[in-house]
Each structure stands twice: as structure tokens, then as C-alpha cells.
Amino acid sequence: MHSSTSVIRVGAASLRTTPLDWKGNRERIVSLIHEAASKGVDILVLPELAISGYECGDFFWHPWVADAAWESLEIIVSEVKDMVVAVGLPLGVYGKLYNAAAIVSNRKIWGFSLKRYLPKEGVFYEPRWFSPASKRRFIEPRSGAPAGYALPFQWGNLFLTIEICEDAWQARRPLTYHQTHIALSLNASPFEMHKSARRHRLVTESSYRYRCVYAYANLLGNEAGKLLYDGEALIAFHGTLVAEAERFSYEDGQLVWADFPEEALQALSRQTRLPVPKERVLLPNFSKKLMSLPSPSRTASRKTSSVWWELTEAVAMGLWDYLWKSRSRGFVVSLSGGLDSAACAFLAKYALRRAKETLSPQTYRRRLAYMGDAEPQVYAFYQATAQSSQATYERARAIAQALDIPFFRWDIQPIVEAYERLVEGWMGRPLSWTTDDIARQNLQARVRVPGIWMVANLLGALLLTTSNRSELSVGYSTMDGDSAGGVAPIAGIAKADLKEWALWAAETFRLPELKLIAEAVPTAELRPGGQADEEDLMPYPLLNALEKKIVQEHLSPKHLYDSFSEHEHYVEKFLRLFRTSQWKRERAAPGFHVDGHDMEARGGARFPIFSLLE
């Protein structure tokens, strides 16, 4: 048994995962366990569902997934020696599947903490696959270990409590059941703007309210294509954050730790009014060396980070992971001279630069092993029609030069005219802008697609879709035109927010070319005589407000008419465009979730194709 004067080293680790990557996930978990052991960590928390990956989707229904997770767990268990480790996995037992945390020590499973509160709103669908933890504990038959909600674990003289993501936000969270010295929090919490501050409050306030160490571990990276994880690993004690991992890392994971005198933990916990746990799971003691109190692994000095910095890092990290996980060899952008495509080009270039600068040469080449010695690149194409202006061409060329990416101009007007002649021959009359406006605009957008797709195919590169969230909400795009592409990096960002981000980025990265684009009037340049997006639609700030009321706040059309009575015609227009555009959203390229809501039709915005929303 360790002495009451000993020092306890608590660790938390973020982890980059891929769904169903049993070997890769397991190796990364074992690597972090070995690293923690080499640093003298006594207790380590890893993220939620780390063994399988969080976003396995309907594969969770397949019994072999839980079986494979168990096989990986057994291998991981054999690697855990003088340490207590909490690691997440899907646990199949007695015909049910649980979102569980296995508590492992000395090459043995000692218990399973099961998640009770399963999120089902927005991008979360856990009740579709998992059963909530029941009130009664049971024995997991293969290990003989107890399983249940809010199980108390005892390690020497200390009590450990496990919280799995959503459970920590509930009134009857595990920490409310009994006295705790060390709380371990396993999470798969997707990035959203402004969310990190809420997490920090949860971690620090929990450590203060329950007089304990609170160790928080989150997933890292773009796990499955759309949700991004910032990799926060946090350790707090008595209301103070004492260790914090680097967010948005491009590495396989990040380990942090902090040291706490056992005597201080015991003294502080006695100040709570919570009872000492009765039916606790006893964990094995192992030899604990006495040590002086060293500095934590990474001292937490919480900086006031800009929300735009967070957004930049999140999307860039997401693009990098999408690139190497899809074995793509670069990015292709149809650069129009407008803000959306400029933002995509910047973020793609930034992603490649960040990966090159932050990863070791060995890790960088391992991720890009399919490319040999070649380097991924961003390629930009300006596709001009009769409606394209010299101003947008100059802006596109300038931002491409500033980003140092290859830039090409294609004049596609002859192709547009060739198609129009074909259709005019069938119709028996000439096309005009008076009677055929929308069809002629859509043709230009669609003619831009075959060539750019061919380039992406020839290069083995990802074609980036440049649609933003505001356009998706009202269908302001051409199907098989500007909506074409393999991934939509800014699909979760409202147009008004994108402009603010661009002005910040222009100043931060010294890109006056981006500032010029951000301040220009948004235009599709598909109609002669000048065209402005907000004239076609409505002011973007108003559009964003209406979208938020309907999608995020779940308010009724009547509420919109009452709240925006001075803009009744815009409300009617928004509702009409919103309800008639779901089919477009169903066909949109995968987009990154970065805000409190998005327009992902296969995720958090599942609306009917036909409705009478009005």
C-alpha cells in the first residue's frame, strides 16, 4: 500500500481514432499507456469509445463490432502493469450494447462504468444503438468484473469515480453519489465554436464543487469525416486548471499529467457532505515511489483564444485528416474570386502547412506513405464565362499568388454557348435572360464541373465544395454545379460569420488579398448586368437569424413572423426556400460540424423533402 505522504500522478490523454480501425486504435492506445508508464503516471484516463471509435454508426448494431472491441480490450489489458487505466469501448453483454469505460490495472479488468444519459439531439444518436445503464449493477461474465452506473472504485485510500461525457452534465451525475478523490471523465465531444469555454467551466467547477481531482480526456482529429474533435485533455484540482494538452494537434495523441499529494486529496475530500461509498470495487495496490512534487507536464495557462483561431485550426485539422484518411493527393478548388472559394483555398493550404511544420518527418511520411516522396498540393482554377468580371479574376489570381498555390484560368464560355445551341435547336427558339434566367445561370455553374472533376480524378485529389451554411439553408446553389465536390469544409459556417472570420484571418496572417475579397459584394456572377447574393436572397445576418430560430431553437413559423414582423416578406421567402431545398441538402457533400447546429441532412438536420412549412 502506498504511503499517505506519497504523491499521485494523474494523467489524461487525447487520442486520434478511426472507426473500426482495431489495430491502429489499439496501437495508439498502447503507445499512450507506455508513454504514461514511462512518465510515472499512476492513473490514466483515455477518451470515450476509444477502442472502436465513436462514430461507428449503424455498425454498432453488428454483434461482431462488440466482439472485436472485446478482443482489442484483452490485448490492451495485457499491456497495463503498475497503473490504473480507464478506456472506452462498446460493451456487448446479455443481448445489450453499452457505452462503457473499462477500468484496467495489473493486466486485469476490475470493472466497467456504464453510461446512462445517452444524447439524442443534433449530431448525436446514441440511443439508436446503446442501452442506458440500469440502476442495478451486474457481473460481466467474461471478466467476472462488476458493471454499472456510478460505480465507486477504491485504490488504496483513494476513491475514484468515472463519468462518461453526457453523464457529467446531468443533475444526477456520478459525482453526486459518493465521496470522490479523483474523477476520470471519458469524452467524445465534437468541436463547436465557443464550446471549449463551457468544458473548462465544467472541469474546474466540478473539481471545486466535489473537492477532487478532475481529469478529462477527449478524442482528437477528424474521426469519420464530419465531426471534428479538438483533443482537449484537462486536469483540474479544487477549481484550478493545472494541466492542459495542446488542442488541434496533428499527432496521434497528447498526454498530460499532474501530481497531487495524497494527503491533500484526502483532506480536501473530507470537506464534502457526500457519503463514503459502501459497495466499492477494490483496485490492486502497487508499489508507489515517494517523490518530490515536480511541475506538471504542461502548465495550464489558459489564453484568451479567438473563436476564429479555433475555427481555423479545427477546419484545417479536419481537412488534413480527410486528406490522408481518404488517401488523396491534394486539394482542388474552383476559385471564383469570391469569399467562399478563397476561404477553402486558404484553409486547405494552411492545413498542409500545419501538418508539415508540426509533425515529425517520420509521422508526416507515414501518414502520406501512399504518395511515395510526392507532396500534396492545392490547385486553383478560375473558370470564366461571359458574366465573369475582371475584378473577380484579379482577386482570385491575387489570393492564389499570396497563398503560393498553382493557379489556372479556363475560359468556358464556348462550352456554355455550345450547350445553349443544342437546347435552342431542340426548343426551336433562342434562349433569353427574360424567360430562361435560372436555367441559363445553372448551366454556367454545371459547365464548370466536368473539367474540375477531371482534374481531381487525374491528380487523385479532393475537389472541395465551397458552399457555406447560409446557402445550404435556402438552397442557393446549383445541383451538380457549385455543389459538386468530395467534402465541404465551410458547410457548417454561416456567411456572416465567414466574413468576420476572413477579416480576422486577413489581419492575423497578413493577407490583404483576403481582406479585399471579404469586403467585396458577394456575387455569383451568373447573370448579366450585375448580380448580388443578398439581392437574390436577403441580408445574410437576417438569413442567419431566421435559420437559427428554425433549426437550433426549434421555434415555429408563427414565432418568426411575430419576431421579424418588419421583414414579413423575407420570412415568407426564407420558409419557402428552406422547405423546398431539403432535397439539395440530401445530396450535399459531407461538411464539417463546427457550430451549435448545421444543415447536414444525414446528421443534425433531418427534415422531410416535402412539407408545408409556412
CA nearest to 22, candidates 61, 81, 64: 64
Q: Identify the band that residue 290 occupies on the pLDDT scale cut at 50, 70 and 90.
A: very low
Q: What CATH number does the domain containing 243 carry?
A: 3.60.110.10
In a domain, 526, yes or no: yes
Residue with cell 484553409: 347
Shared-domain flag, residues 36 and 131: yes
Shared-domain flag, residues 339 and 275: no
Q: Identify the band that residue 288 occupies on the pLDDT scale cut at 50, 70 and 90.
A: low
In a domain, 1, yes or no: no
User: For residue 273, what pLDDT is reported?
Assistant: 86
Greatest Cα-to-Cα distance within the chain, rounded to the nearest angstrom: 94
Q: Is the pLDDT reported for residue 305 higher than 80?
A: no
Shared-domain flag, residues 384 and 530: yes
Supply the pTM of this predicted model. 0.95
What are the strands, taking DSSP E only, across 306-417? 330-334, 377-384, 407-411
Q: Is 286 exposed, middle or buried (0-12, 13-18, 19+ CB in 10 A)?
A: middle
Shared-domain flag, residues 217 and 113: yes
User: For residue 33, what pLDDT is reported?
Assistant: 98
Shared-domain flag, residues 276 and 312: no
Cα 319 to Cα 489: distance, rounded to the nearest angstrom = 7
Q: Which residues pair with 186 in a beta bridge?
A: 164, 217
Quote the percentage of the chain above a pLDDT of 70.
96
Q: Is the pLDDT reported for residue 292 higher than 80?
A: no
Alpha-carbon torsion angle 433, 436, 441, 444, nearest 10: -100
Averaged pLDDT, 545-568:
95
In a domain, 108, yes or no: yes
DSSP string, 117-185: ----STT--GGGTPPPP-SS-EEETTTTEEEETT-EEEETTEEEEEEEGGGGGSTT-GGGTS--SEEEE
Cα–Cα–Cα angle for 428, 430, 432, rounded to 5 degrees: 140
Averaged pLDDT, 315-330:
98
Number of domains observed in the structure of the chain: 2
On whether the CB atoms of residues 99 and 78 are closer than 8 A, the answer is no
User: For residue 300, what pLDDT is reported?
Assistant: 53
Alpha-carbon torsion angle 337, 338, 341, 345, nearest 10: 60
User: For residue 269, what pLDDT is reported?
Assistant: 82
On whether the CB atoms of residues 311 and 442 are closer than 8 A, the answer is no
Give the structural domain span for 398: 307-586
Shared-domain flag, residues 384 and 259: no
Shared-domain flag, residues 322 and 363: yes
Q: What's the count of helices (H) and strands (E) in the chain, helices before strands?
A: 18, 21
Q: Identify the band that residue 529 occupies on the pLDDT scale cut at 50, 70 and 90.
A: confident
Q: Is the pLDDT reported for residue 293 higher than 60?
A: no
* Phi and psi angles of residue 595, each rounded to the nearest 5 degrees, phi first: -130, 180
In a domain, 200, yes or no: yes
Shared-domain flag, residues 213 and 333: no
User: For residue 239, what pLDDT is reported?
Assistant: 96
User: For residue 272, what pLDDT is reported?
Assistant: 86
Residue with cell 431539403: 582
Please provide the average confidence, as pLDDT, over all residues in the chain. 95
Shared-domain flag, residues 330 and 275: no
User: For residue 285, what pLDDT is reported?
Assistant: 86
On whether the CB atoms of residues 440 and 420 are closer than 8 A, the answer is yes
Q: Identify the band that residue 298 occupies on the pLDDT scale cut at 50, 70 and 90.
A: low
Kindly list the strands in the beta sheet with 240-244, ordered across the sheet, starting from the edge strand earlier in the chain: 240-244, 233-237, 213-217, 182-186, 158-164, 152-155, 281-283
In a domain, 186, yes or no: yes
In a domain, 208, yes or no: yes
In a domain, 290, yes or no: no
User: For residue 302, what pLDDT is reported?
Assistant: 47
For 172, 450, 553, the CA distances from 575, given in Å and listed in that order, are 40, 33, 15
User: For residue 199, what pLDDT is reported?
Assistant: 97
In a domain, 297, yes or no: no
Shared-domain flag, residues 352 and 495: yes
Cβ contacts of residue 578 below 8 Å, gap of 6+?
473, 474, 547, 550, 613
Q: What CATH number does the domain containing 358 carry?
A: 3.40.50.620
User: For residue 478, what pLDDT is reported?
Assistant: 92
Shared-domain flag, residues 103 and 182: yes
Averaged pLDDT, 413-426:
97
What are the strands, taking DSSP E only, across 212-329? 213-217, 219-222, 228-230, 233-237, 240-244, 253-261, 281-283
Q: What's CA 106's distance to the chain center, in Å?
A: 34
Shared-domain flag, residues 212 and 88: yes
Averaged pLDDT, 222-244:
97
On whether the CB atoms of residues 285 and 65 are closer than 8 A, the answer is no
Q: Identify the band that residue 1 occupies on the pLDDT scale cut at 50, 70 and 90.
A: very low
